[in-house]
Amino acid sequence: MTDQKINNANMPEQPDAPCPPAQDMHPSMKEPFVRMTKRGGITKRQRVAVYIICFILALLVGALMLLAIGKNPIHAYRDMVVGSFGTAIATAETVRIAIPLLIASVAVGFAFKMRFWNIGAEGQILAGAIFCSYIVIHSINNENYIGKIPLHLLMVVLAMVGGALFGFLPAYFKTKWETNETLFTLMLNYIAIQYVIYLQSLRTWQHPMSTYPKIVDFSTFTEGKVELPRMFGVHIGWIFALIIAVVAYFYLTKTKHGYEISVVGDSLNTARYAGMNTRWIQIRTLLISGALCGFAGYLQVAGANHTLTETSAGGVGFTAITVAWLAKLNPFVMIPIAVFIAMLQKGSLFIQSTMRIPASAADLLTGLILFFMLGSEFFIEYKLVFRGKQNISPIEQKEVAA
């Protein structure tokens, strides 16, 4: 996973970049039954049509799996929507799931845009949660001497430092010795999880009455100081998440930093020739990426859970990868996609209780949708030409894609 050759087919960014003119493959003696040629470009409408078809196909395959276990897929899908948006409470819960997901997706998207495969969002979220919990515990053990606003400010700063540290380590080694960042970030996830388990066993972090290794409920022990205020039934983290997504969009598309990130992602060598400090760009971006995840960790502690557990990140780091990629690394598009994936997760919890369908159906469906979306890229870049046919209409191609 070292060097950065540019593969056109895999570049999610630059959706409207002009493709080279259509050229057929080298002339061969006998025409193959089916061959592929590069498209001369595709309209936005065609592109959307391909995505929609792939999305429907993914749902169909999911439906087959539900049928295989003897459940009615139509009921299941309907219940998922009802269970996630049917009531105000359900909607609030769905949004609550979407908050860390959106922030982590934006963070992961930064790194992915540079082809830095950060799969450690999970660990970075936990690192943020751990760091900001330290100050809460310190405050609790010293008669809550910190006021509400200073406490939150300290928590935010610490959480971002924690997340940034976890982003910095792999970036430092990757840029210095090309250390494999995928596994590095992944191992940090496990280390963070183990560390939380360790904290749970500490007397000073436990509930005084508890015999079970569990960290105290911050809300009761800080007289509610730790709790974030709510707006429309959800903690105000959703406002921050939206702001982050919008700012990230402008950061990536309108600033020098954003431009540098795309050049590094397209070709490290080009960036070097252009005189960019590629090492600093990568480290800087991972610091930001980690800090954002750390902030999501803070929101989990202060907004969602009011405590710290080893599941505080709860798989968000991995799901964020799917969200980021489905959104083609565009932070704006991540907003609806994060909400959609949150809907799948909340909805699958609902059908678990109503239809006894395991909640992991959400992961299954998420994976399927991403599989189909990954496959669909091919049909956007290339078209298939069958023997004897010179041209093929876009409509027919979608049938081929199907």
Residue 71 CA to residue 262 CA, distance in Å, equals: 45
Q: Which stretch binds other proteins (CB under 8 A): 48-56, 95-103, 184-192, 246-254?
A: 184-192
- Please pick, from the candidates 40, 88, 150, 178, the single residue that binds other proteins as defined by CB under 8 A: 178
- Please pick, from the candidates 358, 387, 389, 400, the single residue that binds other proteins as defined by CB under 8 A: 358
Instruction: Please count the helices (runs of H) and the strands (runs of E) in the chain.
Output: 15, 4
Closest by alpha carbon to 155, among 366, 306, 2, 332?
306
Q: Is 236 in the site for other proteins (CB under 8 A)?
A: no
Residue 34 or 243: which CB sits closer to other proteins? 34
Residue 173 CA to residue 166 CA, distance in Å, equals: 12
- Please pick, from the candidates 106, 127, 151, 186, the single residue that binds other proteins as defined by CB under 8 A: 186
- Please pick, from the candidates 84, 222, 366, 397, the single residue that binds other proteins as defined by CB under 8 A: 366
Pairing outcome for strands 230-231 and 382-386: unpaired
Residue 326 CA to residue 396 CA, distance in Å, equals: 25
Residue 92 CA to residue 235 CA, distance in Å, equals: 9
Binding residues for other proteins restricted to 306-335, rule: CB under 8 A: 318-319, 321-322, 325
SS (HEC) of 240-297: HHHHHHHHHHHHHHHCHHHHHHHHHHHCHHHHHHCCCCHHHHHHHHHHHHHHHHHHHH
Q: Is 183 in the site for other proteins (CB under 8 A)?
A: yes
The footprint of other proteins on this chain (CB under 8 A) covers a number of residues equal to 55
Contact code string over 57-76 relative to other proteins, x by CB under 8 A? --------x---x-------
Q: What does the DSSP assignment read for 11-62?
A: --S-TTPPPPPP-PPPP-SS--SEEEEE-S---HHHHHHHHHHHHHHHHHHH
Residue 292 CA to residue 106 CA, distance in Å, equals: 8
Residue 77 CA to residue 122 CA, distance in Å, equals: 28
- Please pick, from the candidates 25, 52, 243, 274, the single residue that binds other proteins as defined by CB under 8 A: 25
Q: Is 7 in the site for other proteins (CB under 8 A)?
A: yes
Residue 296 token pair: 């999501």
Q: Is 88 in the site for other proteins (CB under 8 A)?
A: no
Contact code string over 370-399 relative to other proteins, x by CB under 8 A? xx--xx-xx--x------------------
Q: Is 77 in the site for other proteins (CB under 8 A)?
A: no
Query: Minimal distance in Å, beta carbon 278 to other proteins?
Result: 17
- Angle subtended by helix axes 278-299 and 121-141, to nearest 10: 50
Residue 100 or 303: which CB sits closer to other proteins? 100
Query: Minimal distance in Å, beta carbon 272 to other proteins?
Result: 19
Q: Is 274 in the site for other proteins (CB under 8 A)?
A: no
Q: Which residues lie near other proteins (CB under 8 A)?
A: 1-2, 5, 7, 9-10, 25-26, 38, 65, 69, 117, 119, 173, 177-180, 182-184, 186-188, 190-191, 194-195, 197-198, 200-201, 318-319, 321-322, 325, 356, 358, 360-368, 370-371, 374-375, 377-378, 381
